[in-house]
Amino acid sequence: MAAEWICRALRDGALAGEHAPALTIKDSITSPLGFDVFAHVLSQHSTNISAGKSQSRGLVLVAFCRSPSFYLDLLNKRGLDTASSHQWIRILDCYTDPLGWKDRLAESASATKLSHEGLNMASIRGNVKDIDSVYSSIISLGKGFVEQGNVRFCVAIDSVNEMLRYASLSSVAGLISSLRCCDQISSVFWFYHADLCEERVTAVLDYMSTMAASIEPLIQFANRQRSNSENLSLLDQNFTRGKLHLRCKRRNGRVRVMFEDIHIGQSGINFTSASCEDGVINQGLLPKVQFNLQLSEKELKDRAKVVLPFEHQGNGKPVQIYDGRKSLTDGKYEIAPVSTGISDTDKESSKGEIIYFRDSEDEMPDSDEDPDDDLDI
């Protein structure tokens, strides 16, 4: 449900007079499935766009950590027609040569220059550190879709981490917020690894997004320092399974939280509702022991029925609590439950009770009491 919700929100886009909705996708090394979720959202949204179902007419993908051809392959594999892709996707290539090393080397050695520029690509060579130029490239790529004033496009950024390596947090935050303000943009989404950034970076990015999807491991490692080798099956689980935790902020300030399980199988990524998650996780966490740590419902009921010794609540008799000292006079109370108990068990067989026979008059009071504590010696 959460994943569908995300795709719907991106599809519906921005309302007039509001900032564009923004989605953060983040993960950490214990459950590194964030990129799969990003790829899922990307392909779902692309499907919507190419089918004309979305508010946005095109998608500008800012590629920092994968090559443009990787993304075209990915979309092709998800059944999108990349031949007509130039009508709805443009890729800003910040991957191939972000710092201009290749250009610099090509100049000095006059080697053949590799060119990726095609119909739907643009690349930034050497000046990725200049966030303003990234912004203007995004806008000018998007303008390709936007002939009339009221058509919008969507922006996807595949790694905010890389961007943060090249530029300061404030300039990255500035880029994102100016993208959200832009009239021609219908939605923005981005992905990053949360454990590579400081906490304040995570907080800033969360504040700027209307939806924050974080991927968490199903089972947390009890001890981070513990070597993987001892938790091989856990490790394996965390590479294929995870929990999608989605927090959406409504316009009125209400925050809604949703959970969903992620499973990555041979056929791709699956989302299932996480209704039974707690039970499953708890069962998974409990060590296998030969005795029960918890009571069944029947056992709980039976336990509630047990009448504790010397406490006859609710049956009209005075409440008598055994203090270890009562003797002869109480004899009848000690015997009584036995005689009545037998007849009672016929009537209500499920009633439990504790039968206590005092062995002899010599029985000592409870061991923690000092029998002589009232003596003044």
Partner 1 sequence: MEIRGLLDEALGLQHLSGRVVLLEDCVETSAAFVLHHLLKRSLSQPLHSSNVVVFIAFAQPLSHYDRILRKLGCNLAAQRDNSKFFFFDMLMDCPDEDNGKGGDGGLVSLYGKILKTMSALPQVNKNCVTVMIDDVSLMEVAARGSTNLVLDFLHYCHTLVSEFGCSLVMLNHEDIYSGMVSPTLILQMKYLADILIKAEPLATGLASDVHGQLTVVNRSIVDGERSRNKPCNFHFKVKENSVEYFYPGSRT
Under 8 Å between Cβ of 30 and 193: no
Minimum CB separation of residue 310 from partner 1 in Å reads: 54
104/305 with CB nearer partner 1: 104
What are the DSSP calls for 260-300, one per residue?
A: EEEEEETTEEEEEE-TTHHHHHHHHHSPP-SS-SS--HHHH
C-beta closer to partner 1: residue 99 or 338: 99
Shortest distance, CB of residue 169 to partner 1, whole angstroms? 14
Of 1 and 235, the one with the shorter C-beta distance to partner 1 is 235
Q: Name which of 21 and 217 has its Cβ closer to partner 1.
A: 217
- For residues 377 and 373, what is the distance between their CA atoms, to the nearest angstrom? 10
For residues 132 and 198, which CB has a smaller minimum distance to partner 1 in the complex?
Answer: 198
Contact 133, 125 (CB under 8 A): no
Which residue in 144, 159, 178, 163 sits closest to 56, CA to CA? 144
Instruction: Return the structure tokens found at 256.
Output: 């809604």
As measured in angstroms, the least distance from the Cβ of 289 to partner 1 is 23
Select 99 or 276, whichever has its Cβ closest to partner 1: 99
Q: How far is the CB of 115 from partner 1 (least distance, A)?
A: 12
User: Around 178, how many Cα atoms within 13 Å sit in the side-chain half-sphere?
Assistant: 13
To the nearest whole angstrom, how small is the minimum distance from the Cβ of residue 230 to partner 1?
Answer: 6
Q: Which of 162, 106, 101 is nearest to 134 (CA)?
A: 162
> 228 vs 327, which CB is nearer to partner 1?
228
Count the Cβ atoms, other than its own, within 10 Å of residue 281: 15
The residue (of 109 and 119) whose beta carbon lies closer to partner 1 is: 109
Q: Pairing between strand 22-27 and 185-193?
A: parallel
Cβ partners under 8 Å of residue 55, min gap 6: 11, 12, 13, 14, 152, 186, 187
Smallest separation (angstroms) from partner 1 to the CB of 61: 16
Site for partner 1, rule CB under 8 A: 29, 32, 66-67, 69-70, 73-74, 77, 95-99, 101-102, 104-105, 108-109, 111-112, 114, 162, 165, 193, 195-196, 198, 227-230, 232, 235-236, 239-240, 264-268
Count of CB atoms situated within 10 Å of the CB of 245: 17
Residue number with CB closer to partner 1 (162 or 260): 162
Tokens 């939280």, located at residue: 257
Q: What share of the chain is helix, strand, coil (3-state, %, to 5)?
A: 40, 20, 40
Does residue 80 contact residue 50 with C-beta atoms inside 8 Å? yes
Minimum CB distance to partner 1, residue 111 (Å): 6
Residue 74 CB, nearest distance to partner 1 (Å)? 8
Rounded CA separation 334/122 (Å): 93
Q: How far is the CB of 45 from partner 1 (least distance, A)?
A: 19
DSSP-derived letter for residue 181 is: H
On whether the CB atoms of residues 322 and 354 are closer than 8 A, the answer is no
